[in-house]
Structure 1
Amino acid sequence: MAQALKVISPVVGGFGQDRAARYEAKQLEAQGKAVEAQGTRQAENIRRNVQGILGDLTAATVAQGGSNSDPGAIRRAAKIESRGKFNEEAALFGAGEQAAGLRNKGRAARFQGRIARNQGIMQGVGNFLSSGKDAASAGSSMLKVFGG
């Protein structure tokens, strides 16, 4: 019985670590998707804010008796749009990079789980092979006890 536990325990432990690592990887990947979605929402908010600012700029320009086709108004609007676009892209890029990091952590967790599983199997096989003489004598003792 003790020999069987020496063989089975590392194998079961390795498989348990593998399952835990796969669960952790799924959690990390879900976090990555959430981060990407948050970046997309942030970029949409920036776009909406820029559109609001441009509308306010147009209203202020017209209220002062100016025109949207005025070179100064066009220059200000272009500057606001370019900064807004930059901030929008920065939000998407930052979220994408963070999500990629979480996906890489997930891959690493899966890899560590596979290593733990294989290590458990190898340790169990090693324990079985190293106890060959004891296992053979235990097997013959069991045959004597239970008949055979």
Structure 2
Amino acid sequence: MNDQSQPNPPSRSGRGGRVRAVTALAVAVLATGLVAACSPSTPARPAAPAAPPAAKKPHQATVGQVTGENGGTWTMTTAKGETLSVTLTPATKFGTPKAPATAQSFPVGTRVRVVGKRTDTTITANRIAQAKAKNATSPPSTPPSAPPTN
């Protein structure tokens, strides 16, 4: 009757319990991953489309000198020497909203700013206005006079 003479065998429930816990945890992790991967509630987002190439603005401004007028088509030459055809439409406005004008306000030789849709060498004009004067070189300033001597 000596209970201390024989050691107790290792508890199966202790080691087996740990094995079952680790197994259950592994199954839970795998199941969670599979559910998340197959879940229709989290659809994969499509890749964002690549940015389109930079396009010209639909209505850009071009400055130049009117070199010809023939009814609804004008010709202008830019500062870079490019010759453009300007198409006038019934919707073309002249001048600015604060200072409206007419087509007759811009005779050949006038420097204008044309806003409209450009295709190659043709601009369909939305608005034609007087171009701002080119930056003129200012005359050299006179040096300050010397302080008076006493």
Where on the TM-score scale, by shorter chain, does this alignment land: which range?
under 0.3
In our comparison, the structure showing a higher alpha carbon Rg is: 2
TM-score for both structures, normalised by structure 2:
0.27
Report 1 or 2 for greater relative contact order, CA contacts < 8 Å, sequence distance ≥ 6: 1
Higher helix share: 1
